[in-house]
Structure 1
Amino acid sequence: MKKDIFTKMQILSDSAKYDVSCSSSGSENNYKTGELGATNNSGICHTFTADGRCVSLLKVLLTNFCIYDCSYCINRVSNDIARAAFSPRELADITINFYKRNYIEGLFLSSGIIESEDHTMELILRTLRILRHEYKFNGYIHVKLIPGSDAVLIEEVVHLASRVSSNIELPSDASLRLLAPNKTKEKVLAPLKLARNFSLERTNKPISMSTQLIIGATPESDLEILRLSSALYDKALLKRVYYSAYIPINDDKKLPSIITKPPLLREHRLYQADWLLRFYGFGYDEIVSERTPNLDEELDPKTFWALNNLHLFPIEINKASYEELLRIPGIGIRGAKKILKARRFKKLKLEDLVALRISTKRARYFILCDGRMQKELPHYAEHIRHALLAPPKEKKEQPTLFDGSALFGEL
């Protein structure tokens, strides 16, 4: 039976939700259609620009038909699920209609592999041609490149897209061979290399690119994951790596049990470590090592690093360089800049940091202010760790005139 557009949208937006390159999906509630405030999970997601703006995108697959049989993927060929496919014209029309109604500001387009890699890439390309050439749409379009597709197709997609990506999914060749036999790391990285080179030839500036790594489906350590991310950043292949906690959706003996909880805290720590790689000047081998190959889930990565390198502390905030200030737990980029600016006029004390709205909850264990240690505590990692993880002391509420028992005792 031929599916209508609404049914296709339900199927293909739901199939796209496991790609975390956009930060959140649409919301649903229990209101009835026609009532004020009624919403539907229609594939509109929210992501964030470099300047902090929240942007709404139509996040959808061109099709969830797929000839691949990746163990972790809901759309794998061996799964018995509802299938659908948009034509390039249908998807372009939906995008423009959503845009005109101010539902979205752009499109996030991915796809299963239907018939072949080249055939799928050609369908995506036709969609982009309709949007860019026929409708003159100049908005944001993020396209997932199809590994194994022809370089000519990739070149034209790169020319028409605002951003491209190719999901590595698993951190090692061994895991790809086990769970995604149709993929290799070289095959997945090839479109990114081509996209970088094509964009440099056209504009002398690499197009913005990203990838996704699934966390917890395979036994790789955080060291292996961050080493891979660091290499991709160093080669200028990527602007961003997205980390996705594995959600058990397929019952497969090669995967964790279907009742396994997604490692969301580990995912969060990897994002924090990734931030240190990209903006704080850390090397991956400083954050984790062969001795400590996994991040501490109780402490943020910078604090974890500081406790493993106490010989570098305490740091005098009135003399430290910008790079040294960035390595103090609790002091970020804005805080470091505030300190550099404020200390031109006076020697800073702890109360000055508080006045500058710099959090000292963690920093006080690692700094000197005008030669004075800010926390009287033995300078041992375990003592500091215990103090940082200790629950906050409960504040006693002051009795009021309405609290007769507190003021006068039980009558």
Structure 2
Amino acid sequence: MDVAEKLEILADAAKYDVACTSSGASRSARKGSLGSVSQAGICHSFSADGRCITLLKVLLTNVCVCDCAYCVNRVSNEEVPRTAFRPRELADLTIGFYRRNYIEGLFLSSGVIRNADFTTELMIQTLEILRYEHRFRGYIHAKAVPGTSPELLDRLGHLADRLSVNLELPSAQSLKRLAPDKSRTSILSPMRQIMASMAEDADTRALMGKRTTYLTPVAPKRKTRAFAPAGQSTQMIIGASPESDHHILNLAASLYRSVGMRRVFFSAYLPVNDDARLPATDAVQLNREHRLYQADWLLRFYGFDVDEVIEARNPFLDPLVDPKANWALNHLEQFPIEVNTAPYETLLRVPGIGVRGAKLIVRARRHATLREDTLRKLGIAYKRARLFITCDGHYAGQGVDFTREALRAQLAAPPEGGRHGRRADKTIPGQLSLFESVDTPEKAAIRGEGPKAALGKGAGRTAESNYWDARRAKACEREALGSMPGGTIVGDAALSPSPCGSGLADTPGAGAEKRLRSRGRRRAPASPDARSASAGATPSKPTPEMLFA
């Protein structure tokens, strides 16, 4: 099986893992190395169901000794074709895609081949080829296999920018029932080791940065890479087990507190296997996944607590209203608030006002009293925010009763769709592919098709541009005939056509003529044939081959 066939199989098998996002690390380019990392430096693509995924997200192998009920690569699934990359193959493939500007990083996961340590050894070999042989400094996200020995996990962490250990399911009971080969200890132990290694690495680097001696320090031969500078993340499957949203959010909050998790990803369960232990439904709970992400954002950036976002007596999030709006509807006694005097923390709890909008409001009201027109210019979602605020003492949500039922009807109404701006005409539908050639309006214009091609034929062009086009055409005609006004340069051969119609001043003949004039050299008179050709004959128009030689 060649590399292209392996890539097609293993890239398709990796699409179920959503625990990848922008890098979260920053590293500039360096002479002699390849690649760099910015805070949002990973190329993204969007799948058909709206998931944001990286362009090169592959498995090292889809061979797996585990028999997880929800996984398409489980050992009992005999319908899946099995294959594996060699470390050298995957490293060279990554560099080849990077040099062609297809990707800016690598998301590497794998099935468990033989055992966890053997799989991790193969991943380490791949990353060592990238880092040390190709000197690749781009972003790498590596999946740590549960059950990996601490020594191998430490080596993997010094090669990758981010590590992740998938939690898989929200409870130990569900994990035992649906993934009997995995345990809570084998998953949580690597998470705690990653947190401890990151803290130890940060302390060591901070200590080495201080000058504690007057002796000249001896630089090491090769600087040791930081341990997982972009932190760690994890993923939970939603809908394959009966846990509630209240339980899931409490688990996510505990991971943020106890193991320093950077991000918890939620993946709606996709029915890919027939198993009696799985839910008997084909519905994908994408709306529930979306609500969990919104609630997770409130916990991380808006100062909410889990019990504020969701109550134990109502353990599932409202599918029609987002969690922030639902909290506001349940606490109408705190609204409406005055945007000109409310503190920053209170502004964050207003539906329609985000972190950036709240900061802009606090900054703008220092200089003037804020009213409706000013708030609209600040970029907040004013149609939602107006229901919960007053501007200079005037309620902004006039026409809507300030009751829970009326406000909920406004917030639960589906937004009016539409095509936003002229960019919608240029949008290429579907997910970007590494193997298919996608036609674009620009490519059609080059072929002489489509509306843009008319501009190259004179339509919509100004008089000035037509004048300079005529000048370039005349210059190309003179060059093609081998004649110049006033005579031919001694020693010059037939002048070559000017590339891309750059004009007379950029041609080799014109440059030679200027040099000869400056040096006072003798110019030879033009031949009779050349004079007659330039005086009487009408040259033909330049062909595209002449203009684009």
Considering the TM-score relative to the shorter chain, is it more than 0.5?
yes
Paired residue for 2:4?
6
Shift of 1:325: 0.3
The AA in structure 2 aligned to 1:75 is N
TM-score (norm 1): 0.84
Percent of paired sites with the same residue:
54
Corresponding residue to 2:290 among 268, 274, 277: 268
Shift of 1:100: 2.0
| Stretch moving more, 109-118 or 351-360 | 351-360
SS at match of 1:160: coil
Question: Which structure's CA Rg is the greater one?
Answer: 2
Shift of 1:387: 2.8
The AA in structure 1 aligned to 2:245 is D
Paired residue for 2:233?
210
Partners of 1:98 and 1:157 in 2: how far apart? 23
Paired residue for 1:17?
15
Corresponding residue to 2:265 among 242, 252, 256: 242
TM-score (norm 2): 0.64
Is the Cα–Cα contact under 8 Å of residues 159 and 199 in structure 1 kept in the other structure?
no
- 2:125 matched to 1:102? no
Partners of 1:64 and 1:206 in 2: how far apart? 25
SS at match of 2:15: coil
Shift of 1:359: 2.2
How far does the alpha carbon of each residue in 1:179-231 deviate from its partner, in whole angstroms, 9 at most, with x for none? 01111233212212112212222233874111111111111111111111111
Is the Cα–Cα contact under 8 Å of residues 21 and 42 in structure 2 kept in the other structure?
no
Paired residue for 1:280?
302
Partners of 2:415 and 2:125 in 1: how far apart? 58
Paired residue for 1:305?
327
The AA in structure 2 aligned to 1:328 is V
Partners of 2:41 and 2:145 in 1: how far apart? 29
Paired residue for 2:359?
337
Paired residue for 2:383?
361
Partners of 1:355 and 1:89 in 2: how far apart? 53
Shift of 1:347: 2.3
Paired residue for 1:125?
124
The AA in structure 1 aligned to 2:96 is N
| Stretch moving more, 8-17 or 384-393 | 384-393
Is the Cα–Cα contact under 8 Å of residues 197 and 206 in structure 1 kept in the other structure?
no
| Stretch moving more, 57-66 or 204-213 | 204-213
Corresponding residue to 1:78 among 73, 76, 79: 76
SS at match of 1:242: strand
Partners of 2:340 and 2:228 in 1: how far apart? 40
The 1:69/1:306 distance shift into structure 2, 3 A limit, reads: same
Shift of 1:266: 0.9
Shift of 1:170: 0.6
Partners of 2:337 and 2:409 in 1: how far apart? 21
Corresponding residue to 2:253 among 230, 234, 240: 230
- 2:59 matched to 1:61? yes
The AA in structure 2 aligned to 1:311 is E
Paired residue for 1:253?
276
Paired residue for 1:187?
186
Structure 1, unmatched stretches of 5+, are 25-47, 395-411
Partners of 1:149 and 1:190 in 2: how far apart? 10
The AA in structure 1 aligned to 2:57 is K
Partners of 2:414 and 2:163 in 1: how far apart? 44
Partners of 1:148 and 1:194 in 2: how far apart? 12
Is the Cα–Cα contact under 8 Å of residues 210 and 241 in structure 1 kept in the other structure?
yes
Partners of 2:415 and 2:92 in 1: how far apart? 55
Shift of 1:372: 2.4
Partners of 1:97 and 1:362 in 2: how far apart? 47
| Stretch moving more, 93-102 or 11-20 | 93-102
Is the Cα–Cα contact under 8 Å of residues 353 and 359 in structure 1 kept in the other structure?
no
Partners of 1:221 and 1:375 in 2: how far apart? 35
How many residues of Structure 1 are paired with residues of Structure 2 in the alignment? 368
Structure 2, unmatched stretches of 5+, are 23-36, 45-53, 204-226, 418-549
RMSD, aligned α-carbons? 2.2
